[in-house]
Each structure stands twice: as structure tokens, then as C-alpha cells.
Amino acid sequence: MKSMVIGGIILIVALMTGTYFVAGDSFSLGEDYINDLTMLAGFAILTITVATALKYVNQMKNDKAGGQLVEENWDGIGEYSNPIPSGWGLIFIGAIIWMFWYFFVGYPTNQFSQIGQYNEETLEYQAKFEAKNKNIDAAGLRAMGESVYLVQCAPCHGVEADGSNGKAHNLQTRITKEQVAYTINNGANNMKTNYPAGMPAGMASGADVDVLAAYVAGGFKGNKPAAWSACASCHGENGEGMQMVGPNLKAYDNDLTTAVLHDGKKGMIGAMPSFAGRLSETQVKAVAEYIRSIGGN
């Protein structure tokens, strides 16, 4: 047993020395108490692990089972009613005490963190960005929108906003006949930010679906279908939408763009993820302005 203890001590020293040299300056004792705690925790874990291993290796070699058997058994196999090892109990209680100390004293969850600092700096920058561009004109919005579009939108919609051969929606036009028909038949309930009620499926059926789809996709030109009256109650008589009720079917206005970018969108082509948190309010308006400028109406 003595040789095992000596070997365990040598192992602990070797592992701690190796950790120190591999980590380098991360464990410059005294400079950062968090790193000191990490080093101390590493030493404690290694010591407890080696000591526990030595204890039970020694028991397996020398101890014999003993004590009073419990009444219950399984196929003739019973167990002794011995108390848990005192070391296990002390380690368990000590770990709980350490946890509370670490979270509330040693390193409280509300103390400094790099992630928290990054989030604070991001919010501060966004506030400055919004204030700086509060009165930006249409030309400035288009320029900003183009930059945002090329980074955030072009990977799916294409640099020319043509939808990359059906990979995503073609933003050079507002909506196609097939997409209108799909929405009439299946409804649309995913743009809750600005249109909380959504649109139920089956607002028209049969030949009326084809007629309505052609009328909307064609830019509301020609004779107005009789079935349009059901659509006008939410999208407006001229199809330019109603705030918080139905989106604009003629152009990508700010309300529609905000809803799509914030909530994502599901449609005939597939699903578009939400961009909530990625873009500021001004950037969303800029994207809408840019899409309108390239013919997205």
C-alpha cells in the first residue's frame, strides 16, 4: 500500500506539472483569482480521483465482504446493509458546498464575462447606429440596404435577387401566380409580428383560385374578380394591405419586410429562417428600400 501511495503522489505531481506547462501563462498564480481557482480545482479533482482509486484498489486486494445481509435478495443474491463510505459522503456534501460558494461568492453568475461584455457593446453600438441613421434619406437607405442584402440575403436569393433558379423567392417581383394559389389553398400563419391573425386556408376554391392568383400576380390589372371581395377585407380594396391585418400584395413595404425578417416565412418553395436580432430597425427598412429599388414590387 505504501508503494501505491507514493506512486499516486508522483502521478498527481506529474499531471499538475504537465497541466501548468501546457497551459502556460493561463495559470500565473496571483494575477487572476479565477485562474487560481481553476488550478486549485484541478489539483482537488486529481487528488480525490487518485486517492479514491488507491483506496478501492487496496480494498479489492485486501478487504473481505462482511456485515449484516438485508432480507431482500434477487435469485439468492443479497447485499449487505453497510453504510455508504464516509469519504463518499464527505465528498458529496463538500461538492454541494463548493457549488454554492462558487456560484454566489467565488464567481457569481452576474460578474464579468466576455459574452456579457460583447452583448453590452453590441447593444451600445446598435443604439449609436440607430441614432446616427435616424434621419437617413432614401438614397442612403438603398446603399445601406444593398450592403445588408449582399451579406445576409444574397446567399439564398442571389446577387441579382432572382431567387437563384428557384432556390429561394425571386425578389424582383412581388409574388407569382403559383405562390398566390398555394397561399389561398394552404393559408399563411407565420408572420405574427405584423399580421397576428394570419390567413386561413380555403378563402377561395375551384376556378376562383386560378382567377384570383392571376389577378394578384398580374399586378391587379384588368377586371376585378368577384371573389376578390373576400380578400379585400384584409388586404384592402387595392391590395396594398391593412396594418396588423393583411400584408401588401403589390410591393415589399416596411411592414411586410419587417414581418418576414423577424418571423421567417414558410411557403411553396420552402422555409426561410428568422433574422430576428441580426438586423436593426434601420437595416430592415434599408433592405425593404433596396428590394423596391431593384423592381421588387
Digits of tens for pLDDT over the chain (297 positions)? 677 778 778 888 888 787 777 665 555 555 666 677 777 887 888 888 888 888 888 877 777 767 777 878 788 788 878 778 788 889 899 999 988 888 887 776 666 778 778 888 988 998 999 899 988 999 999 999 999 999 999 999 999 999 998 899 999 999 999 999 999 999 998 899 999 999 999 999 999 999 999 999 999 998 999 999 999 999 999 999 999 999 999 999 999 999 999 999 888 888 999 998 888 889 999 999 999 898 766
User: Could you tell me if 268 and 182 are in contact, meaning their C-beta atoms sit under 8 angstroms apart?
Assistant: yes
For the chain, the residue count is 297
Of 197, 190, 200, nearest in space to 276 by CA? 190
Q: Which three cell numbers stand for residue 285?
A: 427598412
- 3 state SS of 204: coil
Residue 182: what are its φ and ψ, rounded to 5°?
-60, -45
Q: Supply the DSSP symbol for 255.
A: H
Q: Which three cell numbers stand for residue 117?
A: 461584455
Residue spans per domain, the chain:
2-69+81-111, 119-293
- Give 165's Cβ-side CA count (13 Å radius): 0
The pLDDT assigned to 96 comes to 95
Spell out the residues 6+ positions from residue 28 whose beta carbon is closer than 8 angstroms to its own.
35
Distance CA(287)–CA(257), nearest Å, equals 8
User: Could you tell me if 187 and 199 are in contact, meaning their C-beta atoms sit under 8 angstroms apart?
Assistant: yes
Distance CA(17)–CA(27), nearest Å, equals 11
Q: Supply the DSSP symbol for 151.
A: I
User: Could you tell me if 284 and 126 are in contact, meaning their C-beta atoms sit under 8 angstroms apart?
Assistant: no
Residue 74: what are its φ and ψ, rounded to 5°?
-125, 110
The pLDDT assigned to 169 comes to 92
Degrees to nearest 5, angle at CA 173 with 183 and 152: 90
The pLDDT assigned to 296 comes to 60
The pLDDT assigned to 240 comes to 94
For cell 382567377, what's the residue?
211
The pLDDT assigned to 245 comes to 94
The pLDDT assigned to 247 comes to 94
Q: CB 38: neighbour CB atoms within 10 A? A: 15
Of 96, 98, 118, nearest in space to 40 by CA? 98
Task: Please name every residue paired with 271 in a beta bridge, in sequence order, or none if there are none.
Answer: 266
Give the strand pairing for 271-272 and 265-266. Answer: antiparallel
Distance CA(250)–CA(239), nearest Å, equals 6
Task: Please name every residue paired with 266 in a beta bridge, in sequence order, or none if there are none.
Answer: 271
- 3 state SS of 74: strand
- 3 state SS of 73: strand
